[in-house]
Structure 1
Amino acid sequence: MIPGGQSLVSSPPVFSHDGKKLLVCTGCTVSIFSTSTGMKIMELEGGHTDRVTSVVVVPVAAPSSKFISYCWTSSIDGTICYWDFSVPELIKKVKVQLPIHSMVIPNISCTPIGSSEKTSNHYAFISVEDPTISADENKAFRGQIQIYNLTKSRRVRGLLAETRKPELLSVSKNGEFLGITNKRKLDIWKIPSNDFRIEEIKKIKLHHTKKLTALAFHPKLRMVAGGDVTGRILMWIGFGRRKFSGDSQATNKKKNLTDEEKPGVRNNDDADSCSTWHWHPSEIKFLSFSSDGAYLYSGGKEGVIVVWQIDTGKKKFKPRLGSPLLYFTESPDPSLSCVTCADNHIHLLKMPTMEITKSIAGIKLPFSYPVGHKGLCTQVAYDETAGLIAVLTEDYCVQFFSLFDNHEVSQVQVCKRNFQPVDDVTLYVALVSVSLDGSLMGTVDVKIPEDGLGGLVSLKFWMRGSRIAEYSLSTVIYEPHSDAEISSLAFRPGHCMAVTSSFGGDFKIWIHNLGIKLNDQLHQKTGWRCQSVGSYKGRPMTAAAFSADGSVLAIAAESVVTLWDPDSNVLVAVIGDTHSPITSLSFIGNSEYLVSLTGGSTPQLAVLSTSKLRLSWSYKLVAEALSSSRDTSQFSVLVLLNSQCGIEKENGVILLFDVEDPVPVATWMVKKAKGGSLAFVPANPSFDEIKAMDGEKPSLLVYVNGDHEYIIFDPHNMDNRIGKSSRTSQIALEEAGMFGYASIYGDLSNLNPKQDQVPEITFAPSERPWETIFNGSSHALPPLTKLCSTFLASLIEKKPSMNE
């Protein structure tokens, strides 16, 4: 099985100690990306069985160990893992037994765990959730902050704090202070540098009038910043001088200070002053001080990074990131930072200009359509031939994502409009469809009317260029079905023809004109036009599909299926009569059968025979998605499971059927089935397993869940593990293991680095020495002075000697 499409933004990413790698939490693994190329080079897998929530990189002990990299990770599965991510290798696992939502390790030591050197204990502060406490219970404290001794793999007795829910932990750069946002206050602890007991840790509270959502500690000064839900930033200066100093005389003196002597400080909090900054109109998502402490970075839903100058309060902006912001991470390299966006993208920034140098793109996440939308929506389509998924995005694009390589291929801008995350939704892309060979694409975008005026539905046809997943706009058709919503869009296999159906009671067949020759000249009015219009008793047309050879067009007229000749637009037959509207149709390969899904109060999965014009068999199932194999007589259905089965509504089951047998061939339980989809795709020819099958290329099944995570598997042989493509492995090898000679000139074809003895390469000048002088192992090459002189001599034209 091949998993993919994991969220890149569930937790903050972390840079390696040299800034050359970025560690990103991706599901139950940690993906490591190169900051120079933006490509994934390796993965930490096998340590966790659930979502990874935190990564803490261990600093380098000495310059000689710069190629050895260690990190700690925490997970919802209740474990903490210690890795050498330069290999990568799992070294140690600590079991906590409770889901871990956040972890920090103050005063983390550079000495590796398990080394022969004597080291002090490593303490991890973790924010866990107690699942035994009901979330419905009034004032229930499900969150706990615990301390674990990582060196001895045991918990420190007692709780540091209890919270209503698990909170995100923040730690100062020097490891002296730990803090969380807790409703309308900040809870801050001073952490001892040596071994300690929980009773010895001191705590203060800083109060505010609004709910706080983010905090950050100044790297050098005793200053903490907090952001609230209204977009305000509060700066507390000199916090904890009374309680953390331990000076009783100073403590008594501070208690007598009035509010005027502590401007902006509420409830006689332990701080010298508090100032407020305000630019963001909505909730603050992150706060981060620069490494020198001169600037503060803030961001939120507006998609703008605000850079505040600490001394003056002046600000500058990095706008138009196109998505709400979640995290900002600084690198040990002062010229590099990254910002994490809510659309599953991470942008690497060149500092201080904040220019985007590289982007790490995952599948864009699903979005909600406006409440007033009446039509059926398709957020996911497939280019089955190329192994791509086409995903509609909130910023009016279609994102093409490679299922086998797990990375973004391209984005097609459907509507030329700047996306503003804070604005009310006035425009959205409702539907996307791709032809079987991927050469054509159709989209439908809808402009919402304001006060009943200004609404517009646009049908757009796109033509693929010379490269895969790169499309150019061919034709725009406004209001293709008057004021009715479009319910479906399908392309005819092997033809430049498409069909759209509408809830207004008609369907239209569109063809593409290649140009008309007039007077020996090519008339350039090419594009799509309507060839014919059809309807059936004025009923709403709810779904459409072409047969595998394109000779039959099936249109769902509410509760019946009508069959048409697409060339003459003649009604051929009518099949079935259901009690609810049909939502999906699909022909099964080259067989005579047609599958339909019915929604509403009486859901149904029905298999219809087009030769006998009758129902073959059916089930009463609540189905979310349907897909048919192009080469066999099989199809798969994604079925939702209700709460009566004791399973959450979002879970489901995939059923694989042979068309002539109502008994499923296979079943798979899946999660997040609501909003999911299915597709049969041909096997990737770059897979090692497929190469060994004597040319056989079986169809694989793709399941995409409601969060746009996916998994690819062979529905007929679950024991055979499908490997990753050789191209991805090669990228990882080049990024992870190339040093010295290989990093400049590439791998040698016949060099085995594991051999103990390497034959010497004899240097012998020739007529074309530049072709051979750089061949061989770097340690066996002649001195550079000899190489350069020979190379330069080969470039100089030889002249006969005067004595000859």
Structure 2
Amino acid sequence: MMTGGQSFVSSPPTFSNDGKKLLVCTGFTVSIFSTSTGMKIVELEGGHTDCVTSVIVLPVAMSSSKLMSYCWTSSLDGTICYWDFDSAELINKVNVQLPIHSMVIPNISATGTDKKASNHYAFVSVEDVNISADENKALRGKIQIFNLTNSHRVGGLLAETRNPELLSVSKNGEFLGITNKRKLHIWKIPAKDFRFDEIKKIKLHHTKNLTSLAFHPNMRMLAGGDVTGRILIWIGFGRRKFARNSQIDNGVKDATDDENPGVRGGDDAASCSTWHWHSSAVKFLFFSSDGAYLYSGGKEGVIVVWQLDTGKKKFKPRLGSPLVYFTESPDPSLSCVSCANNRIHILKMPTMEITNSIAGIKLPFPFTVEHKGYRTRVAYEQTNGLVAVLTEDYCVQFYSLFDNHEVSEVQVCKRNFQPVDDVMLYVALVAISDDGSLMGTIDVKLPEESLGELISLKFWMRGSRMAEYSLSTIIYEPHSDAGVSCLAFRPGHGMAVTTSFGGEFKAWVHGSHFKATDQLIQRTGWRCQSVGSYKGKPLSAAAFSADGSVLAIAAETVITLWEPDTNILVAVIGDTHSPITELSFIGKSEYLVSLTHGSKPQLAVWRTSKLGLFWSYKLFAEALSSSRDESQFAVLVLINSPYETNVNEDGVILLFDVENPVPVATWMVKKAKGGSLAFLHANPSFHESEATDGEKPTLLVYVNGDHEYIIFDPHSKDNITCKNTQKSHLNLEEAGRFGYASLYGDLSKSNLKQALVPEITFVPSEKPWETIFSGSSHVLPPLTKLCTTFLASLLEKRPNIDD
């Protein structure tokens, strides 16, 4: 089993002491990347069981010239771990018992090469999960202090807030601060060992909610950013409350000064000035190591460099995504900026030239527009184990599922992306042929004042390299003014089909023609071969059979079957209660599976030879995938309401064999809303799966709503539990004693092992008559057999003992 797709920008990264490594919080682990190559070196795993929220590298030892390789990490699992990250060795663990959202260690210092921590104090921002979030004005965020040497808590609470806040600390560890609505809370931390009652606190006020905070490295100065894009600079903060013997009194006005320009409500500061460039919330503030410049960033995707003495500014533009963190390296020639699109850029200072990038899978982006029928989904290039993700900046990102890194990006629309612009253009659909040689995309330009809408169908051809595509043909308005609902490629043929809500479908073929001139020129491209419709009904889904001989198209509540080459209607199947949203042929079999949403959702399996319904369930399936080689398919089902907008909604993956309506296996998963499924062939590097009889085993990949994924063998008994799945401990002897097994009898041992694996989550009922009648009515056995079995289940069976 393999996992991947974790966010690289959920928390600020940290440089090693020599600046050659970057430690990044990635899910339950910390990934260490080379700053020169951008490749992963090692991973710190096994210490945490929930998301890592901070990583702090110990600085160079004062008594030794050797660079230290030790760090502290915190996690939502309520623990703090101490690591030697060169050897990926876990040394110590401290249990805080509450989810830690942020951690800083003021006055941190290393002590030679001793692996034991010195007298360090960790300030942690935790969430009190014992307090209900529904409680009015509940203070769930708390700031506590822990002694990391003897693993015990120090003193009481520094502060309580509605939610856990991000902690900021000054470079020398003297000051600690948080933003809390319209206030900054600032604490002065005594050097070395201290008593809790020695910590002093002040508050600085503002008229807007504050979003970021940074301390000057040499002066008693701090900067705060607010939701409107303003930056406030406080000079001489704490001049009355904090002791005058501070290490950074340079530039502070004398306490006898009467004027406090810009300071609100008698706050403890000498002056406050305001700068404004950003159009929205300031996401990060950071002072340069020499204290001469202030870096700021936000939604605009631009790093603004402010000169403190003059207020002049310069810019690093076109980073292509909102910015979330800025981190400086001990090497003054290196810094990095974390972007909201799950990418970290390594910057060469002071020019801020991008020397390398660490790219994770692009995160989902919210649509600010509603467009009928478009369901933004990922596509799969199954030959090489790639996932194609639609991105906010008009690209298709190809990401290797087996290697967990970006392979390439294809720019669909030649247009500069500005994060602050209103959404006027987006890529709506992407489809890839089975062999990965062809790709199709649909991009939509939205109308301005109800004029100028443009839908473009683009076909792409793969080049000599994996996931390298070049544009072949652009077709504007492929279905006049109607939206495109589906795009599907015909296996083994240069043909694709698009369906529209306007009631027609078109078959596109790839061919070549010659231009008769002095020189013979061959041109290749896509053209429309045929057009079809069914009673003018909107068409919502399409799928080809495995051999490409049959085309199935959903026309509202019915399925139409067509001969692709001649465009002849062959048959019409059934009638569902709601419009069909997805179709898929199951392997090389005669069966077809459909999904319907709406008020009466349904998962239905159809038998094309008899043109009828084989079996069905009333459930809302978020995603569907069929195996190429086996008569199996998997569906992702939402447990709660299908109209729930929460992406963290739980779900269930059901694995079916087409001949049996009882699931072969089930898995509970997280973040099912917006998730997807796909069957893949095992990659040679996937060492957990071994090929049998020279064939690669079929694997199942689940990508959740946050684009995190897990790859596993659905038939293996050795799949271990991870964050996205749960296993049941149902043994094989118990598995055949309920439901359909009680009606049809026990399966053979060989079939039992193949059909019922340990991942099944059904639990045998103590009352077998409660499940004996479960299932679709059209596949239940005759009433006479049901009654016999029902009565038999009520009687206690005793062995016949002869006298």
Does the TM-score normalized on the shorter chain lie above 0.5? yes
SS at match of 1:269: coil
- Taking structure 1 as reference, are residues 692 and 608 closer, same or farther at Cα in structure 2, changes over 3 Å only? closer
- Within 1, Cα distance between the matches of 2:707 and 2:520? 45
Find out whether 1:669 has 2:668 as its counterpart. Answer: yes
| Contact 1:230–1:283 under 8 Å retained in 2 | yes
After superposition, residues 435-474 of structure 1 pair within 5 angstroms as 435-474=433-472
- Determine helix, strand or coil for the equivalent of 1:199: helix
Per-residue CA deviations over 1:736-768 (Å, capped at 9, x if unaligned) read: xxxxxxxxxxxxxxxxxxxxxxxxxxxxxxxxx
Q: Does 1:38 align with 2:38?
A: yes
Query: Cα–Cα, structure 1 residues 325 and 115, in superposed 2: closer, same or farther, change >3 Å?
Result: closer
| SS, match of residue 244 in structure 1 | coil
Q: Aligned partners of 2:120 and 2:75: how far apart in 1?
A: 18
Give deviations 1:644-689, integer Å, cap 9, x for gaps. 9x99971100000000000000000000000000000100023344
C-alpha displacement of 1:146: 0.1
- Provide the residue aligned with 1:355 in structure 2: 353
Q: Which amino acid aligns with 2:680?
A: V
Aligned length: 715
Whole-Å separation in 1 of the counterparts to 2:431 and 2:654 = 24
Instruction: Indicate the residue corresponding to 1:56 in structure 2.
Output: 56
**1:281 Cα deviation (Å)?**
1.1
- Kept in 1: contact 2:110–2:118 (CA 8 A): no
What SS class does the counterpart of residue 515 from structure 1 fall into?
Answer: strand
Aligned residue among 625, 629, 632 for 1:631: 629
Once the two structures are TM-superposed, the CA of residue 693 in structure 1 deviates from its matched residue by: 4.7
Partner in structure 2 of residue 364 of structure 1: 362
Q: Compute the TM-score of the two structures, normalised by the length of structure 2.
A: 0.86
Q: Which has the higher contact order (CA 8 A, sep 6+)?
A: 1
Match of 1:83 in 2: 83
Letter of the 1:71 counterpart:
C
Which residue is 1:750 aligned to? Answer: none
Matched letter for residue 606 of structure 1: A
Please report how far the alpha carbon of residue 275 of structure 1 lies from its aligned counterpart in structure 2 after TM superposition.
1.1
Please give the per-residue CA displacement for 1:543-595, whole angstroms capped at 9, x wherever unaligned. Answer: 00000000000000110100000000000011110010100000011100000
> Hey, which bits of structure 1, 4+ residues long, moved more than 6 A?
253-256, 646-649
Q: Which deviates the most, 372-381 or 584-593?
A: 372-381
| Aligned 8 A contact 1:289 1:297 in 2 | yes
Give the structure 1 partner of residue 741 of structure 2.
Answer: none
2:214 and 2:44 map into 1 onto residues whose CA distance is 28
Distance 2:575 2:195 in 1: 73
Give 2:92's aligned amino acid.
K
Q: Summarize deviations over 1:474-518 as a string: whole Å, max 9, x none.
A: 111111111111110000011110000011001000001123375
Partner deviation per Cα, 1:680-731 (whole Å, 9 max, x = no partner): 01000233445675633101000000011100000000405799xxxxxxxx
Summarize the alignment of residues 58-73 of structure 1 with structure 2, pairs less than 5 Å apart: 58-61=58-61, 66=66, 68-73=68-73
Specify the alignment match of 1:326 in structure 2: 324
Indicate how the Cα distance of structure 1 residues 509 and 205 shifts in structure 2: closer, same or farther if over 3 A, else same. Answer: same
Give the aligned partner of residue 2 of structure 1: 2
CA contact (8 A) 1:713 1:722 kept: no
State the one-letter code of the partner of 2:666. Answer: T
Out of 369, 373, 376, which is 2:374 matched to? 376
1:641–1:648 contact (8 Å) kept in structure 2 = no
Partner of 2:613: 615
- Tell me which residue corresponds to 2:335: 337
Cα gap change, 1:496 to 1:703, in 2 (>3 Å): same
Matched residues in 2 for 1:567 and 1:722: separation?
Answer: 47
Give per-residue Cα distances to partners, 1:314-340, cap 9 Å, x unaligned.
110000001000000000111110000
Instruction: State whether residues 576 and 615 of structure 1, in contact with CA within 8 Å, keep that contact through their aligned partners in structure 2.
Output: yes
In structure 1, give the amino acid aligned to 2:140: R
CA-CA distance at 1:240 after TM superposition: 1.1
Q: Aligned pair in 2 of structure 1 residues 373, 643: CA closer, same or farther (>3 Å)? A: closer
Q: Tell me what 1:765 maps to.
A: none
Shift of 1:525: 3.5
**Pairing of 1:693-704 with structure 2 (within 5 A):** 693=692, 695-704=694-703
The answer on whether the counterparts of 1:643 and 1:649 sit within 8 Å (CA) in structure 2 is no
Gaps of 5+ in 2: 723-803
1:302-313, aligned counterparts within 5 Å?
302-313=300-311
Equivalent of 2:549 in 546, 551, 558 = 551
CA distance in 2, matches of 1:571, 1:329: 62
- Distance of 1:527 and 1:587 partners within structure 2: 28
Quote the Cα distance in structure 2 between the aligned partners of 1:257 and 1:294. Answer: 25
Alpha-carbon contact 1:346-1:360 (below 8 Å) kept = yes
* CA distance in structure 2 between the partners assigned to 1:611 and 1:112 by the alignment: 77
**Contact 1:642–1:648, Cα closer than 8 Å, also in 2:** no
For 1:538 and 1:115, how far apart are their aligned partners in 2? 75
Contact 1:640–1:649 (8 Å) recurs in 2? no
**CA apart distance, 1:526:** 2.0
**Aligned positions of 1:102-181 closer than 5 A:** 102-111=102-111, 115=115, 121-181=119-179
Change (3 A) 1:722 1:144: closer
Amino acid aligned to 1:660:
E
Which residues of structure 1 form unaligned runs of 5+? 724-804
Report 1:247-266 matches (<5 A).
Answer: 258=258, 261-266=259-264
Contact 1:23 1:31 in 2 (8 A): yes
- Residue of structure 2 equivalent to 1:796: none
RMSD over aligned Cα atoms: 2.2
Amino acid at match of 1:201: I
Distance 1:211 1:164 in 2: 14
Alignment CA distance shift 1:720-1:641 (3 Å) = closer
% same residue: 79
Q: Distance in 2 between matches of 1:571 and 1:692?
A: 42
Q: Hey, what does 1:678 align to over in structure 2?
A: 677
In structure 2, give the amino acid aligned to 1:396. Answer: Y
Alpha-carbon distance in structure 2 between the residues aligned to 1:587 and 1:281: 50
Contact 1:542–1:557 (Cα < 8 Å) also in 2: yes
Tell me, yes or no, if the aligned pair for 2:62 and 2:111 is still in contact at 8 Å. Answer: no
